[in-house]
């Protein structure tokens, strides 16, 4: 609870405004709470033992243990498909943090999901350039086609294959409008191509993004983001940058443009 003093109200004794008490924080029925119905609160011993072995490998990469929180959150997201009370408690115990400290990080970054996520997390960007190039139309078409609403709790298809999300800029403006599936790029999309994409994913077809290896599931992606290798052949064969990405570099070279020479030591 916090005390908020309104303006323009009749004065209380001693000439002070009458205080109003306002309860802060989420309401009991607010969407996207970490305490999602049915979410695990603890892990069975065999799951915890397996996660602890993985967590030890992750933590060992850092000179300060708490620096491993970001990859550990990906690790528990790989286990549950989203961030759960069990995952929060596990990370806190491994790093000697409080649950509140872990939850603060988990709720800050949008890559950590707060409700169950399908095999393929499909994100549509509608920031400025993607919107101008048709991102809003793509999002609307997918909402109709999948019969889901990214702004509600029903953003995952009934078969559990697709979770549709309205995402922020993912630094791929040179290929707008962009759709991302499990954080892999699908460039220069249209409502028709995006619809065909989700249909192929639901049909179980092997899909390769515009840049990168063929897609794996959301949980498998989360484990890779936790720092574990992708065992699939060719998974790390990166595609070269395309012409839109290199346009600025090409112009700079044509005009013999160079960065200015440093004028002093950093910090002077």
> What CATH code is carried by the domain that includes residue 150?
3.40.30.10
- What residues pair up with 17 in beta bridges, in sequence order? 11
| Final residue in a domain of this structure, among 66, 84, 106 | 106
Residues 197 and 156 in one domain: yes
Residues 154 and 197 in one domain: yes
The predicted-structure confidence for 95-147, as pLDDT tens digits, reads as follows: 999 999 999 999 999 899 999 999 999 999 999 999 999 999 999 999 999 99
- Pairwise pLDDT comparison (9 vs 87), residue with the higher score: 87
Task: Name the DSSP class of 167.
Answer: E
Q: Which residues contact 104 (CB under 8 A, 6 or more apart)?
A: none
From the list 133, 161, 158, 136, the residue with the least C-alpha distance to 147 is 158
Residues 159 and 100 in one domain: no
Residue-range definition of the domain harbouring residue 140? 120-217
| Final residue in a domain of this structure, among 83, 106, 129 | 106
Has residue 39 been placed in a domain? no
Has residue 14 been placed in a domain? no
Whole-model pTM over 0.85: no
Report the domain count for the chain.
2
- Which CA distances in Å does 72 have to 48, 50, 102? 13, 13, 10
Residues 150 and 64 in one domain: no
Has residue 125 been placed in a domain? yes
* Per-residue pLDDT at 233: 80
Residues 82 and 162 in one domain: no
- What residues pair up with 52 in beta bridges, in sequence order? none
Report the SS3 class of residue 103: helix
Has residue 33 been placed in a domain? no
Residues 102 and 127 in one domain: no
| Final residue in a domain of this structure, among 172, 195, 217 | 217
Strands 162-167 and 120-125, how do they pair?
A: parallel
Has residue 11 been placed in a domain? no
Residues 176-189: b if buried by 16+ CB within 10 A, e if exposed: bbbbbbbbbbbbbb
Residue 200 has pLDDT above 50, yes or no: yes
- Calculate the average pLDDT of the chain: 87
Has residue 37 been placed in a domain? no
From the list 242, 221, 229, the residue with the least C-alpha distance to 119 is 221
* Per-residue pLDDT at 2: 45
Structure tokens at 77: 């997201």
The predicted-structure confidence for 5-28, as pLDDT tens digits, reads as follows: 445 544 456 677 777 776 655 555
Has residue 68 been placed in a domain? yes
Has residue 81 been placed in a domain? yes
Residues 128 and 75 in one domain: no
Residues 127 and 166 in one domain: yes
Q: Which residues contact 209 (CB under 8 A, 6 or more apart)?
A: 181, 184, 185, 186, 215
The predicted-structure confidence for 25-57, as pLDDT tens digits, reads as follows: 555 544 445 667 889 999 999 999 999 999 999
Q: How far apart are CA 185 and CA 179, in angstroms?
A: 6
Cβ 25 vs Cβ 107: under 8 Å = no
Residues 142 and 93 in one domain: no
Q: For the sheet with 179-181, list strands across it.
A: 162-167, 120-125, 179-181, 184-186
């Amino acid at each position: 609870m916090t005390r908020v003093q309104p303006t323009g109200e009749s004065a209380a004794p001693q000439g002070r405004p009458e205080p109003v008490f306002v309860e802060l924080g989420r309401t009991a029925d607010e969407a996207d709470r970490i305490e999602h119905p049915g979410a695990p609160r603890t892990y069975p011993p065999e799951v915890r033992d397996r996660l602890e072995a993985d967590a030890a490998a992750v933590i060992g990469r850092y000179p300060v243990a708490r620096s491993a929180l970001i990859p550990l959150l990906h690790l528990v997201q790989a286990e549950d498909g989203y961030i759960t009370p069990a995952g929060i408690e596990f990370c806190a115990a491994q790093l000697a943090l409080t649950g509140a400290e872990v939850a603060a990080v988990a709720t800050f970054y949008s890559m950590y999901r707060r409700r169950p996520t399908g095999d393929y997390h499909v994100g549509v960007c509608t920031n400025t350039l993607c919107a101008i190039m048709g991102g809003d139309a793509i999002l609307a078409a997918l909402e109709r086609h999948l019969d889901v609403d990214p702004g509600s709790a029903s953003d995952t298809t009934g078969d559990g294959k697709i979770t549709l999300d309205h995402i922020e800029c993912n630094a791929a403006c040179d290929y707008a409008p962009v759709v991302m599936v499990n954080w892999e790029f699908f460039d220069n999309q249209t409502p028709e191509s995006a619809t065909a994409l989700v249909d192929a994913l639901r049909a179980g077809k092997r899909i390769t993004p515009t840049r990168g290896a063929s897609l794996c599931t959301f949980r498998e992606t989360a484990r890779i983001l936790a720092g574990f290798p992708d065992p699939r052949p060719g998974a790390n064969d990166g595609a070269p940058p395309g012409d839109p990405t290199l346009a600025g570099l090409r112009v700079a070279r044509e005009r013999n443009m160079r960065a200015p020479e440093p004028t002093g030591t950093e910090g002077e």
